[in-house]
A = this chain, B = another copy of it.
Amino acid sequence: MAKFGKKLVKRDLVESQFGNISVRKGEKMLITKRGIALDEIYKEGVVELDIEKSSYLDRIASSETIVHRTIYKNTPAFAIIHAHPVFAVIESMLVDTKTIIPINIEGEHFLHEIPVVKGAPGTAELADNTAQALIGHKGAVICGHGTFAIGKTLDEAYFVTALVEQSCKLKYYFDMAKK
């Protein structure tokens, strides 16, 4: 988790204290704590929680814990990355439809489409909408907020995050040139 936290920040996919990471561990999940800087995750920066039921430890976990939990309950994800990449957020605010359609070959091939979901940070509404979108997709964008990406490994969740942003960036610049 420390490695991918550093990588996300270094690759400009998230700014330090924004965003969070988790991995499934049987009936539990390991998730980054609230307010932790993603490029400085250390052992104490992570907390272990039950996937099925919340506990008093939720208070110190990421404020998006409810979203991670709902995703693990509804999908086979083993790893989740929540980031705030700029062009994914911009495209989520620009599309009228409920999905962003990539125009680059990798985006088309691996993502097909990127669902845009709604909901205020940390709410059950957001958690449900995001989990729902991730049943049929590897990555989704919360309108005006950021991305959630899942994978069998953190490697895959990282790859999806990077590909969502790359696809949205390409689309943004292409559309601007075509205007």
Interface hits, A1-49 → B, CB 8 Å: 7, 9, 11, 15-18, 37
Query: Which residues, 134 to 179 on A, are CB-close (under 8 Å) to B?
Result: 142, 144-145, 155, 158-159, 162-163, 166, 169-170, 172-178
Whole-angstrom CA separation of A40 from B16 in the bound complex: 20
Copies in the complex: 4
User: Chain B contacts of A93 at CB under 8 A?
Assistant: 103, 174
Contacts of A11 in B (CB 8 A): 9, 15-16
Give residues 68-96 of A contacting B (CB, 8 Å). Answer: 84, 86-87, 89-90, 93-94
Out of B15, B94, B105, B162, which one reaches A163, CB within 8 Å? B15
Known A16-B159, A17-B159, A144-B105; contact A172-B177, beta-carbon cutoff 8 A: yes
